[in-house]
């Protein structure tokens, strides 16, 4: 049933481990966080969609059908409207109000939170309950790929849509099977610090890394780098060899991290975070001096492990802290929170 109003919340995410594996049909272990984006939508008459970004105090207005492309946050809004329409939903003209508390460009996936909240709210207006969350994640990824220009995989969208307060999600990007992994931390805490360097997947080296993986895969004649053997990888030219080595090592570390969490062996998780960071820095080459400084600072303050998180080239750094070790000033403790959902009260 169509509604005059709908509102939706979608969270950002932390990725515990499994970086740059999603678009290589690999494994990752994210959890949704409490912070996110809320979109309130009100159906209007006519053919114009208007949007207000509360935190930026900026507006946009565009035609409901065939909105022209644009840059920045407006690309997400136009893309969400257009992709919902292309997927066959009769989204009406609407006023949209967007508000959030995930810091933008900080590697906590403010982008996925925005596109997922937008799509859920728009579909809420047409009375669509979105039971097929995998299809919705694909739709949201198209917003990011085709409208924002970042050739990202589906890590962030799936984490935002499937998040659960109980723990993390083991995602297999070949089958898109998602297995809950409870986080029994026994007083250990995860915390993030901002490296201070903003990052944007569309303009960083992210798309180049993805293209390098695609070249390596094509050279090896396999379906995905997940299938590469160590011997095949050793025969690749640099830097493709290093990129593929990272992907293989990182997939293995995800499996080890899940086993360590199930055994409540948090020191082992810390060691795996460090190994993931070394690989992202040395083999995948997505770290930067500000990110290195943030990682070093976390370790100096007693983190049992620390690593860059998300696409890299800036953003946030994740650290794991043992019971009794205080998190440093400016660090934000992160815990799993619920996944994206419609809100009962769409306000005026």
Alpha carbon 319 to its chain's center: 17
- According to the binding rule CB under 6 A, does residue 156 interact with ligand GLA? yes
Of 40 and 251, which has the nearer Cβ to ligand GLA? 251
- According to the binding rule CB under 6 A, does residue 20 interact with ligand GLA? yes
Q: Which of 156, 223, 265, 348 is catalytic?
A: 156
Stretch that binds ligand GLA, among 151-159, 165-173, 293-301, 321-329 (CB under 6 A): 151-159
**Which residues lie closer than 8 Å to 71 by C-beta, 6 or more apart?**
none
Give the C-alpha separation, 67 to 317, whole Å: 36
Phi, psi of 313 (to 5 degrees): 60, 40
- According to the binding rule CB under 6 A, does residue 212 interact with ligand GLA? no
Q: Residue holding tokens 């055994």?
A: 263
Active site residue 57: no
**Which residues lie closer than 8 Å to 113 by C-beta, 6 or more apart?**
10, 11, 12, 35, 36, 37, 100, 102, 160
Q: Which of 91, 92, 79, 108 is nearest to 12 (CA)?
A: 108
Phi, psi of 269 (to 5 degrees): -65, -40
- According to the binding rule CB under 6 A, does residue 27 interact with ligand GLA? no
Q: How far is the CB of 64 from ligand GLA (least distance, A)?
A: 27
Of 49 and 317, which has the nearer Cβ to ligand GLA? 317
DSSP 176-225: TEEEEEE---TT-EEEEEE-S----TTTSSHHHHHHHHHHHHHHHT-S-G
Kindly state the number of chain residues that form the binding site for ligand GLA, as judged by CB under 6 A: 12
Of 5 and 138, which has the nearer Cβ to ligand GLA? 138
Stretch that binds ligand GLA, among 18-26, 224-232, 233-241, 295-303 (CB under 6 A): 18-26
Task: Report strand pairing: 94-100 vs 48-53.
Answer: parallel
**Beta bridge partner(s), residue 31:** 14
- According to the binding rule CB under 6 A, does residue 100 interact with ligand GLA? no
| C-alpha dihedral (115, 286, 29, 160), degrees to nearest 10 | -10
- According to the binding rule CB under 6 A, does residue 19 interact with ligand GLA? yes
Stretch that binds ligand GLA, among 70-78, 150-158, 253-261, 328-336 (CB under 6 A): 150-158
- According to the binding rule CB under 6 A, does residue 22 interact with ligand GLA? yes
Choose, by CB under 6 A, the member of 25, 152, 204, 316 that binds ligand GLA: 152
Of 8 and 308, which has the nearer Cβ to ligand GLA? 308
Rg, Å, the chain Cα set: 20
Assess contact for 171 and 28: CB atoms under 8 A: yes
Q: Which of residues 283-342 bind ligand GLA (CB under 6 A)?
A: 310-311
Choose, by CB under 6 A, the member of 77, 84, 121, 155 that binds ligand GLA: 155
Stretch that binds ligand GLA, among 15-23, 173-181, 211-219, 318-326 (CB under 6 A): 15-23
Of 201 and 327, which has the nearer Cβ to ligand GLA? 201
Assess contact for 27 and 59: CB atoms under 8 A: no
Q: How far is the CB of 19 from ligand GLA (least distance, A)?
A: 4
- According to the binding rule CB under 6 A, does residue 246 interact with ligand GLA? no
Residues labelled catalytic: 156
Q: Contact positions toward ligand GLA, by CB under 6 A?
A: 19-20, 22-23, 109, 152-153, 155-156, 201, 310-311
């Amino acid at each position: 049933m169509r509604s005059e109003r709908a509102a939706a919340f979608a969270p950002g995410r932390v990725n515990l481990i499994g970086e740059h594996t999603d678009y290589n049909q690999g494994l990752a272990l994210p959890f949704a966080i409490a912070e996110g984006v809320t979109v309130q939508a009100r159906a209007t008459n006519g053919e114009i969609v208007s949007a207000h970004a509360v935190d930026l105090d900026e507006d946009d207005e565009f035609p409901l059908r065939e909105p022209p492309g644009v840059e920045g946050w407006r690309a997400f809004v136009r893309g969400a409207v257009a992709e919902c329409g292309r997927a066959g939903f009769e989204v009406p003209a609407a006023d949209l109000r967007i508000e959030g508390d995930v810091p933008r460009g900080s590697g906590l996936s403010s982008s996925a939170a925005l596109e997922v909240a937008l799509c859920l709210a728009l579909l809420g207006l047409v009375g669509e309950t979105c039971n097929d969350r995998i299809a919705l994640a694909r739709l949201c990824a198209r917003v990011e790929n085709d409208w924002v220009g970042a050739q990202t995989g589906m890590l962030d969208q799936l984490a935002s849509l499937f998040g659960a307060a109980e723990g993390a999600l083991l995602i297999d990007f070949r089958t898109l099977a998602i297995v809950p992994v409870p986080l029994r931390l026994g007083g250990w805490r995860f915390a993030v610090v901002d490296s201070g360097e903003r990052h944007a997947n569309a303009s960083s080296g992210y798309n180049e890394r993805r293209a390098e993986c695609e070249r390596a895969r094509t050279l090896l004649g396999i379906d995905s780098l997940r299938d590469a053997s160590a011997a095949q990888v050793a025969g690749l030219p640099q830097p493709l060899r290093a990129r593929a080595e990272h992907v293989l090592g990182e997939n293995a570390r995800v499996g080890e991290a899940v086993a360590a969490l199930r055994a409540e062996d948090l020191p082992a998780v810390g060691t795996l975070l460090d190994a993931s960071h070394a690989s992202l820095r040395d083999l995948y080459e997505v770290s930067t001096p500000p990110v290195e400084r943030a990682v070093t600072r976390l370790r100096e303050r007693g983190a049992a492990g620390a690593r860059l998180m998300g696409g890299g080239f800036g953003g946030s750094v994740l650290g794991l802290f043992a019971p009794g070790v205080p998190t440093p000033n400016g660090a934000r403790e992160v815990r799993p929170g619920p996944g994206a959902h419609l809100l009962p009260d769409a306000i005026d």
